[in-house]
Amino acid sequence: MPSREDITYFGAGPALLPTDVLETAAASLLNYKDTGLGIAEHSHRSELATNIINEAKADLASYLDIPEDYEVLFMQGGGTGEFSATAYNLVGAWVERKKKAIFGDLKADEVNDPTLMQQLKTTIDKELKLDYIITGGWSQKAAAEAARLLGPEHVNVVADARQINDGKFGKIPDESTWKLSEDAAMVYYCDNETVDGVEFPAFPKCLEPKADGSGPIVVADMSSNILSRRVPVRNFSAIFFGAQKNLGSTGVTVVIIKKDLLPPKLQQPSASLMRKLALPIPPIILQYEIIAKNNSLYNTLSIFDVYVAGQVLKKLLNTYPDKAAGQEAVSAKKAQLIYGALEAHPDVYKIVPDKAVRSRMNICFRVTKGGDVDGSERAFLKESTAQGLTGLKGHRSVGGIRASSYNSIPMKGAEALAQFVEEFAKA
């Protein structure tokens, strides 16, 4: 029976957690700060819980250099929940802006003017668009959810990587080919696609804000590469990510959102107005303004999961004086080691994505040794597991091998995998 020290787990998520963080969390589950109660037993309304949330928010802001005009929300529902939440909230923000442009400063009882209401409805029918850059399975699902909620006529596919790669994911279309809407409610992209091993090498140039601060409403899913590199937060209106890759355990989802999209700067349209406009009304638990107003405590948040995330952040801050830049250098080096070993044996391994967009987090490849892909991959997985290198099986939808080199994978783990890749190729 292997011990924790005997294996390096490369699973795509839930991911490996630092052992010392787990040890601290385990002790806190029994007795947190000598209160006689475990952390999961304390009320989410307690001062203790508020302090845990505020510390985690402050540490995340420090590590990623989040500006003061952004809010951090702890939510539930994972990245999939955020596919819906971003659509709901940013469509609401778009409608509110259009309403103000058409109705001006009319009082609430004057908003029912039939001529102006028809003008607003016509504007929505003709102009409301959510833009999606599809580069893998997760962005594909995000676009599909928006189409389900709002209707496909309101979803604009800016680019679809499959159209330039024989129907498969593995590339990012050149920005010159992107077809952005003129005034999209949001432009969504997934910064790192875990299934297909595709990562944006940098923030897209065509989405950068202009000198006057104007620009598209950009939303990014960073569930699988957050905390692994520096993030130009000011380029985004919202960033969301599940905790279970680089931040903590399954059960908490984080949203970093510009305060301009929250009260008092911007109010969401009333439910009655959205019904008149035949637009969906979000569940209250997915409304960003409600979560922000209640400091993420509108309902019973898992304080234990926030605590684990907070401990991971403290460890990162203690490990890297230069914060995200320090982890970025380590992440790049680990990826270079593994990709280098694979590239050294092109007759045995085929790396799935194009070199220009290879993910540092999810290294996807096929084993083609002897021409028997299925047999070679079964042998690769069996022998790697015997050496304590586990969790390497690719996603069920695409097969192959996937090594997820999240922050918690130590350098020696990456070195061990690179060595095994070499040895298997030569055997």
Ramachandran angles phi, psi of 72, nearest 5°? -110, 125
CA distance 361 to 338: 11
25 near 308, Cβ under 8 Å? yes
Say yes or no: 100 and 173 in one domain.
yes
| pLDDT for residue 110 | 56
Over residues 399-424, the mean pLDDT reads: 98
Say yes or no: 107 and 242 in one domain.
yes
Distances (CA, A) of 105 to 76, 249, 260, 406: 36, 46, 19, 50
Token look-up 């839930």 returns 14
Say yes or no: 12 and 75 in one domain.
no
Q: How many residues does the chain have?
A: 427
What is the sign of the dihedral through the CA atoms of 391, 325, 221 and 364?
Answer: negative
250 near 14, Cβ under 8 Å? yes
CA distance 338 to 419: 9
Domain termination site, one of 263, 279, 306: 306
CA distance 187 to 372: 42
Over residues 71-86, the mean pLDDT reads: 97
Say yes or no: 246 and 329 in one domain.
no
CA distance 195 to 169: 9
Residue 34 within a domain: no
The whole-angstrom distance between residue 91's C-alpha and the CA centroid of its chain comes to: 20
Burial (CB count within 10 angstroms: exposed 0-12, middle 13-18, buried 19+), residue 278: exposed
The lowest-confidence range among 2-11, 101-110, 193-202 is 101-110
pLDDT greater than 90 at residue 212: no
Say yes or no: 274 and 333 in one domain.
no
Instruction: Take residue 165 and report the two structure tokens written for it.
Output: 């790669």
* Nearest in space to 71 (alpha carbons), one of 242, 256, 239: 256
Say yes or no: 415 and 368 in one domain.
yes
Express as a percent the part of the chain with pLDDT over 90. 93
Residue 235 within a domain: yes
CATH code, domain with 234: 3.40.640.10
Domain termination site, one of 259, 276, 306: 306
Over residues 148-157, the mean pLDDT reads: 98
Could you say which DSSP state residue 14 is in?
S
Say yes or no: 181 and 264 in one domain.
yes
Q: How many helices (H) and strands (E) does the chain have?
A: 11, 14
Residue 377 within a domain: yes
0.95 exceeded by the pTM? yes
CA distance 189 to 415: 32
Residue 241 within a domain: yes
Domain termination site, one of 253, 280, 306: 306
Residue 37 within a domain: no
| pLDDT for residue 108 | 52
389 near 10, Cβ under 8 Å? yes
Say yes or no: 78 and 171 in one domain.
yes
Supply the range of the domain harboring residue 336. Answer: 4-17+322-426
What's the pLDDT band for 2 if we cut at 50, 70, 90?
Answer: confident
Say yes or no: 141 and 243 in one domain.
yes
CATH code, domain with 329: 3.90.1150.10
Say yes or no: 245 and 363 in one domain.
no
Ramachandran angles phi, psi of 212, nearest 5°? -85, 5
Say yes or no: 231 and 327 in one domain.
no
Number of domains in the chain: 2
CA distance 397 to 141: 13
pLDDT digits (tens, 9 = 90+) for 86-114: 999 999 999 999 999 998 876 655 567 88
| pLDDT for residue 106 | 66
Residue 60 within a domain: yes
Residue 43 within a domain: no
DSSP string, 161-173: GGGGTTTS-----
Q: Which residues are catalytic?
A: 138, 221, 245
pLDDT digits (tens, 9 = 90+) for 405-417: 999 999 999 999 9
Say yes or no: 129 and 190 in one domain.
yes
Q: β-strand 218-221 against 198-199: which pairing, if any?
A: unpaired
Residue 218 within a domain: yes
